[in-house]
Amino acid sequence: MLRFLSAGESHGKAMVAILEGMPAGLKVKLDLVNKELKRRQQGFGRGKRMQIENDRAQVLSGLKNNTTLGSPITLLILNKDFSIEKLHKVLSPRPGHADLAGLLKYGFNDIREVLERASARSTAATVGVGALCKIFLNEFKVKISSRVLAVGGENNASAMKAKISEAIRNKDTVGGVFEVAIKGVPVGLGSYVQPDKRLDARLAQAIMSIPGIKAIEIGLGFGYAVSFGSEVHDEIYHSKSKGYFRKTNNAGGIEGGISNGEDIILRACMKPICTLMRPLASVNINTKQAAKAAAERSDISVVDAAAVVAESASAFVLTDAFLEKFGQDSLRDIKESYRIYAKRIR
């Protein structure tokens, strides 16, 4: 089993990630990890925090001569904006955020004690781990990419940028839809034998765990609800050169919880950021009187960044499923197992 644990607060000293279960023998280029971290910080509509931080990962364990040892890998991403002990109390919860629910759950009297960990800053750790998983998947020619499909209901680049600019002028925020495409996935990852083994369920959980994601669909998704079965199920063909193949991919690369060899296609909805510079109505947690919601430094739109995080979350799930299928200790042994399997199903 591949396991991932993260720690750290938004304005704390650092974000930390521990990845356990990566096999021995994988060459890791730290530049590739840092390139992914930089991608997470980009996109039109990002806030001033991205001008402060220059995320770069340090590896504290799990590598020797840039090669994995099979032991836990620890990543450290220092925060330049380390100010958690100096920041003011937050007393008015933001609608749409974990502020109020977290405050009531844990019994805090300062919303900052919720938002510091509930912040999407934690996704830097997700992207660091995802970068390591992408390096592993690349050994088997599995490629993961993403693209923004819409922002604020607009679906071409200039209109999306105009929508974000409108939100900036209005001191508002805007969400959107992105797509993740995973190419080169072999048949047979995941399983139908238990609910938690299903690949689509595992991917959905990983994507929905990203702060701000409110919906996900795989393949045709909600399009199945308005179609006849004869119109949407991907017919199966066979040839000596291709083996089994499909002419369509409405299933999005997964059937019965198992990868079917087609591209895995995921789409998700990122809601507008909860922190508005023109705050919504709220309540002061001390006085219980009407108040405007807190206004922390924030982004206007993060759909691009959310897509990068979703790539990483998907890479972690795919790597876990890959190791489950082909072994976990040694990259050399995994490659041999994969070779034998590919020959059998060919």
List of domains in the chain: 91-345 (3.60.150.10)
Per-residue pLDDT averaged across 175-200, rounded? 98
Q: Which residue has the tokens 């356990």?
A: 20
Binned at pLDDT 50, 70 and 90, residue 48 comes out as low
Percent of the chain with pLDDT over 70: 98
Say if CB 181 and CB 265 are below 8 A apart: yes
Point out the least confidently predicted range of 67-76, 223-232, 292-301: 292-301
Mean pLDDT on 158-162: 96
Average pLDDT over residues 1-9: 95
Average pLDDT over residues 67-92: 94
Mean per-residue pLDDT over the chain, rounded: 95
Mean pLDDT on 246-256:
97
Tell me whether residue 333 is exposed, middle or buried, using C-beta atoms within 10 angstroms of its C-beta: 0 to 12, 13 to 18, 19 or more: middle
CA atoms within 13 A on the CB side of 160: 19
> What is this structure's pTM?
0.95
Which amino acid belongs to residue 150?
A
At residue 53 the predicted structure's pLDDT band, cuts being 50, 70 and 90, is: low
Looking at residue 61, what is its pLDDT?
Answer: 98
Q: Can you tell me the mean pLDDT for 53-76?
A: 95
- For the cut 80, the answer to whether the pLDDT of residue 51 exceeds it is no
Under 8 Å between Cβ of 279 and 147: no
DSSP track, 255-272: ETTEE-SSPEEEEEEEPP
Position 296 confidence tier, pLDDT thresholds 50, 70, 90: confident
Residue type at 275 in one-letter notation: T
Q: How confident is the model at residue 129 (pLDDT cuts 50, 70, 90)?
A: very high
Alpha-carbon distance of 254 to 37, in angstroms, equals 29
Across 228-257, average pLDDT: 95
Decide which of 46 and 2 is more confident.
2
- Residue 70 CA to residue 6 CA, distance in Å, equals 19
- The Cα 12–Cα 115 span in angstroms is 12
User: How many CB atoms within 10 Å of residue 3?
Assistant: 12
Residue 326: pLDDT over 90: yes
Beta-carbon contacts of 258 under 8 Å, excluding residues fewer than 6 positions away, are: 187, 188, 189, 190, 191, 192, 198, 199
Beta carbons of 306 and 178 less than 8 angstroms apart: yes
What is the C-alpha to C-alpha distance for residues 84 and 15, in angstroms, rounded to an integer? 13
Distances (CA, A) of 117 to 99, 191, 274: 11, 33, 15
Q: Which of 32-46, 47-61, 282-296 has the lowest mean pLDDT?
A: 47-61
Q: Look at strands 176-183 and 143-151 and give their pairing.
A: antiparallel
